[in-house]
Amino acid sequence: MKEKLFTITKKDFDIQTFCSGGPGGQAQNKTSSGVRIVHKASGVVGESRTHRSQHHNKREALKRLTESKKFKIWLTRKMYEINDGKTIEQKVEEAVKEENIKIEVKNEKGEWQNYGIGN
């Protein structure tokens, strides 16, 4: 059985509807068929106003949001955080600690020797 790492629910999104405008006359100015979906955690926006149906536009907007490069980056970062509980910034901070850095220099004889930090 697979274990869920995290879930994204409807609560994580701000779903907005609006009059889509454009060709189609008075009917488009009266119905709120355009849809904009904002993922709160990442700030990614998906929008659609191409279909006459709000339902179809909602599906299209969500698809655009989830396929965007910015959302995929957010998702990747989230997965890294879940795997070991550390953010990328924390991992970098840990990697550059003095005890993790090794510096070697060549001496006058041309031999490598440890120097300075993290010996």
CA of residue 11 relative to chain centroid, distance:
17
Q: How confident is the model over 31-71, as pLDDT tens digits? A: 788 999 999 999 999 999 888 888 999 999 999 999 999 99
Fold of 10-85: Double Stranded RNA Binding Domain (3.30.160)
- Break the chain into its structural domains and give their ranges: 10-85
Q: Give CA–CA dist 101/111, Å, rounded.
A: 20
Chain segment 24-40, per-residue pLDDT in tens = 666 666 778 899 999 99
The pTM for the full model equals 0.63
Residue 118 has pLDDT above 70, yes or no: no
The better pLDDT of the pair 13, 117 is held by 13
Q: Give the separation between CA 116 and CA 26, rounded to whole angstroms.
A: 76
